[in-house]
Structure 1
Amino acid sequence: MTAEGAAGRRVARILLDTSLPQLDHLFDYAIPGELADEIRAGQRVRVPFRSQNRKSFGTVIEFTEQSDFGGELAQIAEIVSPLPTLTPEVWRLARAVADRAAGSAGDILRLAIPTRQVRVEKQHLAGTAPDPGEHDTPFEAEEADTELAGLLTGGARLAIDASHGPVRLGTGEWVGGWSLQLARAALAVHAEGRSAIVVLPDYRDLDQLRDALASLGHAGVVRLDARQSKGERYAAFLRALDPEPRIIIGNRSAVYAPAHALGAILIWDDGDPVLAEPLAPYVHARDAALVRAGQSGAGLLFAAHSRSAEVQRLVEIGYVQAQRHPPRRTRVVHADASMTPDAFAGRVPEFAARIIRQESRRGPVLVQVATPGYAPVAVCASCGDAARCRACAGPIGFRSAGVAACRWCGEPARPWQCGTCDGTVLTERGMGSQRTVEQFERQFSDARVLLSDGEHPRERVDARPALVVATRGAEPIAAGGYRAVVLLDAERLLGIESLRAAEDCLRWWENAAALAAPDGQCVMASGGGPTVQAFVTGRTEEWRSAELHDRHALRYPPAVRVASVTGGAAEVERALASIRDLGAQDPAVPGIDVLGPVPARGPSGYEQVPGIVRLIVRFDYGLGAEIARRLRGVLVADAAGSSARTRGRPPGRARPEALRLRFDDRGVFDG
């Protein structure tokens, strides 16, 4: 694909807007004479499909002199928009990442290109759309990280561990120090006449980076945010499409943004599961960034307080270069180290309680807890078995004192009867964020107790004395930083049935500790073992290397790639045969093994789905392209056969036995 017009050529090759995998290829259409001078690659068009009366939307990818199709070509019906919204670079990226994940390029383009808004587009074409950057002020050289920018615009691939601690901007706002570091790097790339894309997990991270950029005089940032209205998002996309360098910030789909003269892609906290795309073909923003940097020659920067296992692997194989200077880190102590032999620890040991009491009189104190809500688990008071919902078999918890309900479907748990002993009384087990607040209001009666979780989010708290109870990932920024950060429930978090439980814990704890004031401290209230020890001592580099070594030995991601195949037994067997065939052609092919097939579990994770099975393929990175191609071939054949069998029937839900593929699922080995 090139940014071109038809230039006398008579055939346009078009990608249709469809989720059907058997249609994931280019279709040839004749260009009618009245459109020959207007049509451009990247434009949206309407074309007849299967009949002249049935129209489909599509995107012009390229032009050719003649078609290989033996019959008469249908003609393009109309050009939907004169604006080419798909650039050649984004098309190459979409095709490559879709192929890598055995998916459809159209699914990637739906993430990359927002829904068209006619009024917004007309304003943009007329030049009347507001430009937030028209009043940008020049920044001083020392405000930009020119050394880092020079490496990035030269195509370097880097990983940095960000220093702990908040910083105060010239505007008076407090942000994480990491956001100012990324802002300076992006500004320096932009100063060299190149675009920079910065990908961040959620809107709070975006707000901090936006504030940091604005404080350095760059208000004209292009923000692509899932919380924007359709009009706002499309307007931002059109600004990114302009042929001039931009700083583009956004959530996971921003990695696909059009960017003129792309110089660098920066990703903050790639270990956050929010950066894993939940829609097919489920491509992680990190993987898309790696592909895009490789195609374009742009630099790539991974920054975090705790490096992901995937980035650690890239560092150890030499593909990414890690920084050599250790970051500034909050002092961490373990409550056990200050306990007397006869002291009672409990959930909040005496040492941690003393720190909370002392420091919450001087300023804000953060207490991180494992789970939101009141009590995460309800159990039978007679036998102690965990209570399950009678409607969906989901876990029951307490929303508030005495009020129990299913945590999945919300069904009230009254009346309730135990399936084991027929008991009818529920009791609480564990403490969520709301119950912790109640406890602290009694235990620390002089303190102002605040809550921040998914239902009660706070972005910031002021510098006044307070006790802030927050779930992991919902911790607000405190003006000046927290006097102390206390981490509860380490055992519960480490006990999560997930391959990545320890890695996630280290990330949650480091991110919380990074919110402390420069003279503050972090207290690990309980817990032990290698992960806790690595966090307390700060020897996280050794821990990450050891963790990756263990995953190599056991063939777990990211030491290998994985693909899960789910569907009816016959469909999955055909997929398995295609994988077996790979080994049969060359018995010496290393690095591939198959787990299963086994009965697939339903949404609850407990009940089996009749007739549906799943297998997991583990394979070395070098085999990825071939395995994706073979599994995709089986998927396309299955979808085409299904379409032929159901043609003419009323539309309905997808067949439960239909084949489903998912590559590189971070939760594939979770309990």
Structure 2
Amino acid sequence: MSSENGPGDGGAEGAPPEQLALIRESVRKAKEPRAKPRTWRGAALAEQLPVARVLVDKGVLHLDRYFDYAVPAELDADAQPGVRVRVRFGAGRHRVREGRREGGGLIDGFLIERRAESDYSGPLAALAQVVSPERVLSEELLGLARAVADRYAGSVADVLQLAVPPRNARAEQQPSPPPLPPPPVPDAGPWARYEHGGAFIAALASGGTPRAVWNTLPGPQWSEELARAVAATLASGRGALVVVPDGRAAARVDAALTSLLGEGRHALLTADAGPEQRYRQWLAVSRGSVRAVVGTRAAMFAPVRDLGLVALWDDGDDSLSEQHAPQPHAREVLLLRAALDRCGFLLGGWSCTVEAAQLVESGWARPLVAAREQVRRAAPLVRTVGDADLARDEAARAARLPTLAWQVAREGLRNGPVLVQVPRRGYVPRMACAQCRAPARCRHCAGPLQGQDAVLLRCGWCGREETSWHCPECGSFRLRAQVVGARRTAEELGRAFPAVPVRTSGREHVLDTVPPAPALVVSTPGAEPVAEGGYAAALLLDGWAMLGRPDLRAGEDALRRWIGAAALVRPQEAGGTVVVVAEPTLRPVQALVRWDPVGHAVRERAERAELGFPPVSRMAAVSGPPEMVADFLRAVELPHEAEILGPVPLPVTPPGRPRRSGAPPPGEQWDRALIRVPPGSGAALAAALKAAQAARTARGSGEPVWVRIDPPDIG
């Protein structure tokens, strides 16, 4: 009883046999006389537009289409496009026995549209229930969900589970306040520190749609700058959306907006608010009562009306990558929204990702940066401690704290708090040149070489063994396993500074702010609290633990985390100093010393373009039991320019460890293959993978195979 329309005859020449069969079937059905909807109960139907086209809430690819149902007369008023409904769906739905339609189970869905006729010639089942007359799915949100599903080879139903929050009846019954008139145009404020910053705000206020990649100056003013961009957009009579990685960042932007505009002009969408409050805020946005939204990852789908600006802060943070199918990244979703809604776009952060550099290089966005003199005035002094320094440092071997770091910490504690960043535990080592520390890469696909020693090496991407490696940078034949694990702890620092209070901030307990009094603040990356007046100094310890990760983004991510901590330190002219314990000749360390994340991202992009890495190329990962992955790769009809790397075995998940999406169950062995295509073929790759998955699920082919477009970790 599907209403999915097949392709027309035009362009059928040269199509594969399966597509030709679909074309012939759709043409045959089109020639059949269309029947008015009938139900097996003979219930009275709506007089106008008696057919409801429904998207059922089944995240199965072969059911990623619309189904037609009859609209009973008693549901006519409430059964409007965009409402939640319940329908019968399941075994027996297409069979009529002894005059009665066998009913499947009741499932949720969304009513997409009302029609006068159905493409299906048989009797239609009736809508079982309109859950609520609230129209929660607009045409714009449905179009965005379809674009995201196509981009990530997923189903629209899965995307809508991320986009539309669960219903709360009490929140729906409460009216939303009337919308406030547009605020006055704000002045540029701290945006004046940037070249073209004032022009960017003026363009938003005048109704323009500027697109910018914003390299933010160190310090706490980024939240005020985002608030002024939102205020300028609201002044033009349009809406604005800001997405940030976590609740702490959302609270800072929320406070900045409240201070600038007052209460009632924006909604805060975070998981901390609870389901009822979050749904109430979401409804206020959907109904048009509020025109601005600040929130975490799920807010990327917020139904802001007349969208004029989408903004994203710190797009390199891994929390912006959704873990539920189809696993979209907030940056890509906002890029789609900017294109579909023709609105402004702002991608900001203290650091700069390669994807951001790609947007500027392609000409899609313009750089929004400060002059070098302004950067030097705002940034702290950065000093380095490398391997040679550690080898000569007796204090470092005894106390596990380099002398330079100890001296900087002691001096900083005289003037305020000192931040100590230590890497998280659990990083996996990879191989690197023992002389120049350049990562060891496969000669075939440029993937990372892995191994317990330098005798037997294997590529982590394509699985090829490497028996005669030598460094292309310096010619050395010696390899080393890069340093792993956090070696400094709060207890060890407490022994080094016995009279100083030590505070910790990490996964179990994250501090938001710390007072300006002298203290050692030990934090894992991303959990650094803000110090009132800025930190007097910062120690970035065990840099190899982040640089040594077997991941394409290791250097980029290490620089982002270092700059995120260093940006909380006072400027150099106020005595702020940062010490990073890492080899000073490495590119990320040099970028930190110069405070030049944009230059680092540009060089990384050029190198990835030469080697065929994302984001210049598009890549997908296919993982599952070895025989299932092999069957999938044989069945999928990939673009002719696609390149398959692997499969290679995935690390076995130890018993008791949480299982990540796409990872093997504890104790089981899975394989993973990477599929790479050149620029311009990403849509064809996603379509091919989606078609193969749909065919596989329709057949019920054994164990699942996980497909992920643009996997964040391809090391």
Cα 1:259–1:479, aligned 2, differ >3 Å: closer, same or farther? same
2:646 pairs with 1:602 = no
Distance 1:306 1:258 in 2: 29
Cα 1:330–1:85, aligned 2, differ >3 Å: closer, same or farther? same
2:527 pairs with 1:452 = no
Distance 2:522 2:495 in 1: 14
Task: For residue 75 of structure 1, give the secondary structure of its aligned residue in structure 2.
Answer: coil
Counterpart position of 2:419 = 366
1:422-461 to structure 2, matched below 5 A, reads 432=486, 436-461=489-514
Residue 431 of structure 1 deviates from its aligned partner by: 7.0
Residue 571 of structure 1 deviates from its aligned partner by: 4.4
CA deviations 1:29-83 (Å, max 9, x no partner) are 1112222233211000111223436322110112222111121111112211011
Task: For residue 557 of structure 2, give the secondary structure of its aligned residue in structure 1.
Answer: helix
* Aligned AA (2:705): L
Counterpart position of 1:243 = 288
Distance 1:625 1:138 in 2: 42
Counterpart position of 1:162 = 216
CA deviations 1:142-199 (Å, max 9, x no partner) are 569673244354222210111101xxxxxxxxxx211111111111111111111000
TM-score normalized with structure 1 length: 0.80
CA deviations 1:296-340 (Å, max 9, x no partner) are 101110001111111111111111111253363423332449979
1:328-339 to structure 2, matched below 5 A, reads 328=375, 329-336=378-385
* Aligned AA (1:45): V
Task: For residue 672 of structure 2, give the secondary structure of its aligned residue in structure 1.
Answer: strand
Task: For residue 558 of structure 1, give the secondary structure of its aligned residue in structure 2.
Answer: coil
Cα 1:144–1:115, aligned 2, differ >3 Å: closer, same or farther? farther
Residue 215 of structure 1 deviates from its aligned partner by: 1.6
Task: For residue 174 of structure 2, give the secondary structure of its aligned residue in structure 1.
Answer: helix
* Aligned AA (1:311): A
Distance 2:185 2:394 in 1: 56
Residue 28 of structure 1 deviates from its aligned partner by: 0.7
Residue pair 2:531, 2:568 contacting (<8 A) in 1 also: yes
Task: For residue 639 of structure 2, give the secondary structure of its aligned residue in structure 1.
Answer: helix
Distance 1:336 1:526 in 2: 6
Counterpart position of 1:464 = 517
Superposed structure 1 runs of 4+ greater than 6 Å apart = 133-139, 337-341, 605-611
Counterpart position of 1:426 = none
Identity %: 36
Cα 1:9–1:96, aligned 2, differ >3 Å: closer, same or farther? same
Task: For residue 622 of structure 1, give the secondary structure of its aligned residue in structure 2.
Answer: coil
Task: For residue 233 of structure 2, give the secondary structure of its aligned residue in structure 1.
Answer: helix
Distance 1:441 1:567 in 2: 46
Match 2:319 to one of 274, 278, 303: 274
Distance 1:376 1:498 in 2: 9
Residue 540 of structure 1 deviates from its aligned partner by: 3.1
Counterpart position of 2:706 = 660
**Matched residues, number:** 577
Match 2:676 to one of 612, 618, 622: 618
CA deviations 1:377-412 (Å, max 9, x no partner) are 9xxxxxxxxxxxxxxxxxxxxxxxxxxxxxxxxxxx
Task: For residue 166 of structure 2, give the secondary structure of its aligned residue in structure 1.
Answer: coil
Residue pair 2:653, 2:666 contacting (<8 A) in 1 also: no
2:564 pairs with 1:511 = yes
Cα 1:53–1:662, aligned 2, differ >3 Å: closer, same or farther? closer
Cα 1:474–1:25, aligned 2, differ >3 Å: closer, same or farther? same
Cα 1:334–1:607, aligned 2, differ >3 Å: closer, same or farther? farther
Distance 2:563 2:618 in 1: 27
Distance 1:162 1:292 in 2: 23
TM-score normalized with structure 2 length: 0.75
Residue 271 of structure 1 deviates from its aligned partner by: 0.6
Task: For residue 661 of structure 1, give the secondary structure of its aligned residue in structure 2.
Answer: strand
1:31-50 to structure 2, matched below 5 A, reads 31-49=71-89, 50=93
Residue 134 of structure 1 deviates from its aligned partner by: 7.8
Task: For residue 69 of structure 2, give the secondary structure of its aligned residue in structure 1.
Answer: strand
Counterpart position of 2:52 = 12
Cα 1:432–1:134, aligned 2, differ >3 Å: closer, same or farther? farther
Counterpart position of 1:205 = 249
Match 1:106 to one of 150, 157, 173: 157
Match 2:554 to one of 491, 495, 501: 501
Gaps of 5+ in 1: 1-5, 166-175, 378-428, 584-589, 646-654
Residue 567 of structure 1 deviates from its aligned partner by: 3.4
Cα 1:660–1:526, aligned 2, differ >3 Å: closer, same or farther? closer
Match 1:543 to one of 600, 604, 607: 600
2:321 pairs with 1:292 = no
* Aligned AA (1:190): L
Residue pair 1:339, 1:351 contacting (<8 A) in 2 also: no
Residue pair 2:185, 2:232 contacting (<8 A) in 1 also: no
Residue pair 1:149, 1:186 contacting (<8 A) in 2 also: no
CA deviations 1:268-316 (Å, max 9, x no partner) are 0001011001111011000111111100101110001111111111111
Cα 1:506–1:610, aligned 2, differ >3 Å: closer, same or farther? closer
